[in-house]
Chain A
Amino acid sequence: MTAPTPSQTVGPFYGYALPFVGGGDVAPAGHAGAITVHGYVYDGAGQPIPDALLEFWQTGPDGSTTGAPGSLRRDATTGAVIGRNGVDFTGFGRVPTDADGHYVLRTLPPGDSPYISVCVFARGLLHHLFTRAYLTDSAEDQLLASLAPERRATLVAACERDRVYRFDIRLQGDSDEETVFLDFG
């Protein structure tokens, strides 16, 4: 196997390069089945992180894993981002945290899967972190079943009200606080 290119931090200045308008609006506009997943990203002192970048990837509502192009569709004349086409479900979202360390994702519930995949980048983080935001606490899920109850709880979003889920990410903390992050080898 060829040795991989090492990771480096995303740094503080990605804000004018990576985020794009509508990056968190994965659900087609006006879709009646849309859900909101939101929360805060915290550091080891419990302070919100205003310079984190979150990426989301998930199955389509039909359970497909193929996605679709067009997440950052651009106007060929002006180069401006013109948003998703409102028909295809691309499955991909990208949201920078705001000055409060808060993010909001509007998407459709993943089909045949209890979770949305999450990748976390931040200034100060030399290598991104993967996790899963579970919308349901599935008893059969292999990963959840393998975790101690206090660790497992960090992966399950709280249903705040109909169609609104809260999923906070803690980069560092005690075992009942710090989010479970995944190593895919």
Chain B
Amino acid sequence: MTASIERAPAVPAPEAQADIDREMAELKRAAAGKPALLHPARDYAPYRSSALRYPKNPLVVVRDPEAVELSGPVFGVTDTTELDSDLTRQHQGEPLGERITVAGRVLDRQGRPVRGQLVEIWQANASGRYAHLRDQHPAPLDPNFTGVGRCLTDDEGRYQFTTIKPGAYPWRNHLNAWRPAHIHFSLFGTAFTQRLVTQMYFPNDPLFAFDPIYQSITDDKARERLIATYNHDLSSPEWSLGYRWDIVLDGPSATWMEEGR
């Protein structure tokens, strides 16, 4: 018995929330004196999984992206079905949880609508569990909820999903780490350079302050752009609560280049 214990690999004690909090506060202070970053720094250490996955060499600035980079994949009616945007109707029964409508517009940095482009979402169920084999959080799976949706933006750049509010869930960044409730979004613009994958959060989540993924955006204003707004006009009587979230895609596009910077 003793021998096997001695041979067991040393497992470092998990770090405490207080350690992560201290690091996050330091990085926020350090960022305060500099121009605000619009995106998270890839080397944001409190998110421990980033340690070996960020480039150490500076990115090479391409001031004149080529025609292919200023164009991008196109999607059409064959790429989605009508049911894809209603995550509550993909199974025999109704999923458990608080039914919500999430709607908004996809725009470029000039405020112009991104039309006919693919929006994809995925999320945990109301208990905070993903329908993914590797998610071992001991919360119940919901046989009536997969948590995957997609739609195309309309001519005004609008998208809309019906789903349920996802639950918060634990992860192993540090001891007692919990992710605030969020919906993952994947977005395409007219240019490949505008590609975006991000997460939408819900207002007033008590877990915001503790989450190194959310806090990786060190500028307050930038970070708050990820929070949807409760919108009573979007709520349906006796049916669902409405959240509005507009998305602005970064990066140059062909029209942006034509107009000159």
A residues neighboring B (CB under 8 Å): 1-18, 43-45, 47, 49, 55, 57-59, 65-76, 79, 85, 90-92, 110, 113, 117, 119, 121-130, 142-143, 146-147, 151, 171-173, 175, 178-185
| A6-B225 contact in complex given A14-B184, A125-B50, C-beta closer than 8 Å | yes
Chain A residues near B103 (CB-CB < 8 A)? none
CA distance A124 to B54 in the complex (A): 8
Give the interface segment out of B10-18, B94-102, B153-161, B189-197: B189-197
Chain B residues near A180 (CB-CB < 8 A)? 57, 60
As a 0/1 sequence over residues 134 to 166 of chain B, the CB contacts with chain A under 8 angstroms (1 = contact) are 110000000000111000000000000000000
CA distance A7 to B184 in the complex (A): 11
Nearest-Cβ distance from residue A134 to partner chain B, whole angstroms: 12
16 contacting pairs across A/B (C-beta < 8 A): A6-B39, A6-B217, A8-B40, A8-B214, A13-B134, A15-B132, A16-B131, A57-B192, A67-B71, A74-B81, A122-B53, A125-B42, A126-B216, A129-B59, A175-B57, A179-B55
As a 0/1 sequence over residues 94 to 124 of chain B, the CB contacts with chain A under 8 angstroms (1 = contact) are 0000000000000101110000000011101
Structural contact, B249 and A171, CB atoms closer than 8 A = no
Structural contact, A4 and B249, CB atoms closer than 8 A = yes
Structural contact, B50 and A126, CB atoms closer than 8 A = yes
CA distance A79 to B150 in the complex (A): 11
| A5-B249 contact in complex given A127-B40, A172-B55, A178-B57, C-beta closer than 8 Å | yes
Structural contact, B39 and A127, CB atoms closer than 8 A = yes
Structural contact, B248 and A3, CB atoms closer than 8 A = yes
B residues neighboring A (CB under 8 Å): 38-42, 44, 47, 49-57, 59-84, 90, 107, 109-111, 120-122, 124, 130-132, 134-135, 146-148, 184, 186, 192-193, 195-199, 213-214, 216-217, 221-223, 225-226, 247-252
Structural contact, A125 and B53, CB atoms closer than 8 A = yes
Chain A residues near B251 (CB-CB < 8 A)? 4, 184-185
CA distance A5 to B75 in the complex (A): 22
Chain A residues near B252 (CB-CB < 8 A)? 184-185
| A3-B120 contact in complex given A180-B60, A181-B60, C-beta closer than 8 Å | no
A126 is contacted by which of B44, B72, B134 (Cβ under 8 Å)? B44
B73 is contacted by which of A4, A57, A126 (Cβ under 8 Å)? A57
Structural contact, B122 and A14, CB atoms closer than 8 A = yes
Q: Could you say which of B52, B53, B107 has the most chain A C-beta atoms within 10 Å of its C-beta?
A: B53
CA distance A63 to B250 in the complex (A): 26
Q: Quick one: closest B residue to A17, CB to CB?
A: B122
B72 is contacted by which of A4, A43, A57 (Cβ under 8 Å)? A57
Chain A residues near B90 (CB-CB < 8 A)? 79
CA distance A145 to B164 in the complex (A): 51
